[in-house]
Structure 1
Amino acid sequence: MSGFSIQVFLYADNLQIPIFLTFFLIYIAIFAGNLIIVTLVITNSHLLTPMYIFIANLSVIDIASTSNILPKLLAIFLTKENTISFAGCITQMYFFMSWTCTEFVLLTFMAYDRYIAICHPLHYPIYMSLRLCIELSFTAWIVSFLVLVGHAVLVYKLSFCSSHLIDHFFCDINPLLKLSCSDITIIELLNYIEGTILGITSFLLIIISYIFIISTILTIKSSEGRHKAFSTCSAHLTCVTMFYGTIICLYVRPTSSYSLKQDKFFSFLYVVLVPFVNPIIYSLKNENIKKALRFKITFLQKGK
């Protein structure tokens, strides 16, 4: 099989350049915003703590995930050449799903980190050391990429004997399964099993962590103390809400209920909006990152 044709969004020819420029600016903003956070974390010793290392990992995922999809989308807008090779399509799907699973695991580890910091602050250096944080980060990346190998192999072996037109703006698993004339029962079963293990289990662990966190915050007598404790996890909670909201709408349902319009909308939210908003959330709601950014700007201005 030679490949697929990606049908992105229907638009008039006179809107080609404005749409390209809009997505190009969004991509640059996502790349720059997340790169700033990664740079601040690795170049400021006081930010080399578990919480900020996890945040830097999420920023790397946002950069990688959008770079996996948006450059090809921009090329389609600019040249109207919408073909993608079969191997390229499977590769795009594999990396997209792998980075999504990595984010599941990292958000769970971040919830545990906040639980230890708020509920057991005196034992924090023991239960969440820098070494453990790095090991957990590597575990999230390695496990997620290994788990999704099975998906890539099974989809690669599918037969696509009818239309090769993907009515989506990238190669996601649902539109690919929709095009296949093979039996996809095993893949759907694997989706539900892995969705339960990675998605539902991580979501429940996050909920349990926040039950303990909120219970502990409510026992703090001063309003200033409660506000300070809650502010340390509000950014994470906001990102968890956006992430799980879009993922649940995208994948927690059988292929038979697949809706093109809904999937394009929620995919757009996850691929574009969430990586765009995440750096804003973490920078606006985190005084340490804002201080590090101001210091870096002042240092660069003095250097000039």
Structure 2
Amino acid sequence: MNNENMVRVFYVLLMGLGFPIMRFMSIHFETLNNNSVRFLSGGSLFVIICLIKFRSELKKIIGEPKIILYLFIYLFILGIFMTGNMFFFINGLKYTSALAGSIFGILAMPLAIIIAGIFFKDERDRIRQKEFYIGELLAIIGSLIFVINSSNNDGNTDFFLGAIFLFTAIFIQSVQNLIVKKVAKKINAVVISASTATISGVLFLCLAFNTKQIYLLQDVGIGMLIGLVCAGFYGMLTGMLMAFYIVQKQGITVFNILQLLIPLSTAIIGYLTLDERINIYQGISGIIVIIGCVLALKRKNKEC
């Protein structure tokens, strides 16, 4: 197995483990504390990486005072969107499952294209064929079947609430991607990630202090806190750094295909680590979502 294939396999496996980790932390930590610690630790790691590997980008920004205010405003807005996105996403995971999080993560891809198509001509060209709408409809139907069967199976209406949180999160993420696309024309994506993660972490920390949720961390063992910090490192390295590497070295087509494999990896790891089980209808609905997203992304893949 060559190096590029190894990277693909590790990405799918590590991302598959990432959702159970987030689900586990969402159960044991209040959402504001969870996100403040994870984003501050992960953002700090990315800042260090930027200072080592992307000093030229930082010098370029400092050398152009005119764009500093422009970037600060957009990065701060991005941080706000990231805060809202992850608040709803973590709460969604708390009430659903790791697999549900990965399924809804797939739904974000065609939704992002639709919203981007409103503002960008190159994205608008991708939604002019019927396969996109057929695929999107299949994906939505599949996700609804998944949610309904999950709730009925567990006898727990909280699953519906969690699904609403996840839908809200992917909608915010789709709008957030528009800002990323605009800012990415000015600075490297890794620098964007470092900035937004750190800003989001600070915002979550302020909210945690304001609501006094931060004091709940006093009752948490040092081992769990270290685990949460490591989860922040893990999320940044797999969810962002590895993703950027694959897009840069192997292309968006490969990246999108790998994204579609993550629910399978998540289902297996979620079963082994959290004892999360799915019924036959949930399994079929998950496959419908994946098929729908493949159809919706088909033209995009050809263009990349």
TM-score normalized by structure 2? Answer: 0.30
- Please say which structure displays the higher CA radius of gyration: 1
**Structure of higher RCO (CA pairs closer than 8 Å, 6+ residues apart):** 2
Pick the structure with more helix per residue.
2
TM-score normalized by structure 1? Answer: 0.30
